[in-house]
């Protein structure tokens, strides 16, 4: 039996990636690029939330289109729009997919969404405790809990017919417009490549945000080391960034909400170090070759921590981590267990001397 990604009769593929995080899609990109390299004839539709259009555009020719997802019961990222389900299923049927793959993760609801697309073949990740329909076992891979997020996707595609390619690498190409924005930002704030540290205190869920006062302590120490300090964040993270700026004694440049995605990528690339939470900025830093320290509170470093000499992970020392909670139901003890001195020590290991 021919594996579907090695079958020339498979030409139209839907990838169900129902995530709203920058890091989620960046971690998918190495596998998507490999798929494009091996099968340039494929038409690849990425099924995800419409708000991810700007990030999907950054994936370049690895993806042909975004098929907007309206939400569904059991998918926690956004409340579902029931009125959008019938048009969504109809749009999928129009595309006559040869293959639909669940590349969301360890959640059976994503397999139900994948099956609803009406593809000739349906496969992808098989969540823990969920069994593929009879006769489709070869189209599924038991969700590999022990692998990094990047490696999970390449492993799935290899299981489905792509030849092995070695360890996947992150990437995020920058445009001339990104470079021009970045140069203007440095000039406007008197920043020098390699002479500033970036603090990224935001994250989509409260449990992944190390407290502002602890970021401020790290920022003040890095400033005392002679680095300029920059705080970054998304447009909706102004209050989080402002809390760090207010708590710091040293001068700080607040760029929260002030950069484009490409401008942030260039800013991270040229920083002495990024200190941030387990969120998209950590993956963007890995993709552009930046140095980074990532604070893991409830997050799983096996799944999300980047390895190599330019990265450090400082992990909560509590028995209840990792955990799935977006808001801690007890006393947020994981945040208290990560000490500023340990994060600072990790950052100083990376800063060029």
pLDDT at 326 over 80: yes
- Give the CATH number of domain 176-350; options: 3.40.50.150, 3.40.50.2300, 3.40.50.2000, 2.40.110.10: 3.40.50.2000
pLDDT at 263 over 80: yes
Nearest residue to 145 (alpha-carbon basis) of 12, 307, 304:
304
pLDDT band at 92 (very low <50, low <70, confident <90, very high): very high
- How high is the pLDDT of residue 324? 85
Domain spans of the chain?
4-159, 176-350
Residue 336 half-sphere exposure toward CB, CA atoms < 13 A: 6
- How high is the pLDDT of residue 112? 98
- Residue 75, token pair as written in the block: 């998918």
Helix/strand/coil percentages in the chain, nearest 5: 40, 15, 45
3-state secondary structure of 136: coil
Q: Span 193-208, mean pLDDT?
A: 95
pLDDT at 1 over 80: no
pLDDT band at 152 (very low <50, low <70, confident <90, very high): very high
- How high is the pLDDT of residue 352? 87
Summarised one tens digit per residue, pLDDT across range 31-45 is 999 999 999 999 999
pLDDT at 69 over 90: yes
4-159 and 176-350 agree in CATH topology = yes
Q: Span 117-140, mean pLDDT?
A: 97
Sign, CA torsion 275/77/259/304: positive
Sign, CA torsion 16/21/27/30: positive
- How high is the pLDDT of residue 156? 97
- How high is the pLDDT of residue 242? 97
- How high is the pLDDT of residue 204? 86
Rounded-to-integer distance, Cα 82 and Cα 16, Å: 18
**Which numeric CATH code is attached to 4-159?**
3.40.50.2000
Summarised one tens digit per residue, pLDDT across range 285-325 is 999 999 999 999 999 999 999 999 999 999 999 999 999 88
Nearest residue to 47 (alpha-carbon basis) of 112, 122, 100, 120:
100
Query: What average pLDDT is seen over the chain?
Result: 96
Torsion of CA 180, 185, 187, 188, to 10 degrees: 130
């Amino acid at each position: 039996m021919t594996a579907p990604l090695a079958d020339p009769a498979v030409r139209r593929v839907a990838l169900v990636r129902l995530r709203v995080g920058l890091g989620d899609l960046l971690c998918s990109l190495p596998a998507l690029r490999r798929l494009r390299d091996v099968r340039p004839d494929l038409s690849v539709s990425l099924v995800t939330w419409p708000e991810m259009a700007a990030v999907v555009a950054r994936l370049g020719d690895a993806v042909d289109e975004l098929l907007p997802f309206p939400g569904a019961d059991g998918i926690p990222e956004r409340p579902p729009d029931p009125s959008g389900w019938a048009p969504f299923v109809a749009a999928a049927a129009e595309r006559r997919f040869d293959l639909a793959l669940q590349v969301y993760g360890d959640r059976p609801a994503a397999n139900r969404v994948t099956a609803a697309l009406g593809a000739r073949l349906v496969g992808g990740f098989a969540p823990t405790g969920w069994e593929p329909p009879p006769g489709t076992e070869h189209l599924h891979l038991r969700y590999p809990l022990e692998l990094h997020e990047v490696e999970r996707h390449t492993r799935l595609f290899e299981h489905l017919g792509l030849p092995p390619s070695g360890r996947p690498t992150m990437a995020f190409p920058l445009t001339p417009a990104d470079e021009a924005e970045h140069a203007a930002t440095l000039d406007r704030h008197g920043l020098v490549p390699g002479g500033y540290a970036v603090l990224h205190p935001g994250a989509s869920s409260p449990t992944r945000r190390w407290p502002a006062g602890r970021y401020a302590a790290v920022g003040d120490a890095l400033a005392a080391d002679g680095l300029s300090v920059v705080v970054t964040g998304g447009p909706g993270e102004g209050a989080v960034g402002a809390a760090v700026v207010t708590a710091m004694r040293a001068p700080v440049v607040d760029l929260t909400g002030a950069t484009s995605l490409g401008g942030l990528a260039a800013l991270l690339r040229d920083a002495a170090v990024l200190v941030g939470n387990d969120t998209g900025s950590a993956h963007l830093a890995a993709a552009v070759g930046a140095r980074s320290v990532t604070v893991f509170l409830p997050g799983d470093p096996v799944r999300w921590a980047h390895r190599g000499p330019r990265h450090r992970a400082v992990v909560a020392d509590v028995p209840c981590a990792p955990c799935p909670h977006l808001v801690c139901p007890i006393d947020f003890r994981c945040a208290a267990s990560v000490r500023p001195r340990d994060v600072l020590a990790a950052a100083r290991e990376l800063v060029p001397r």
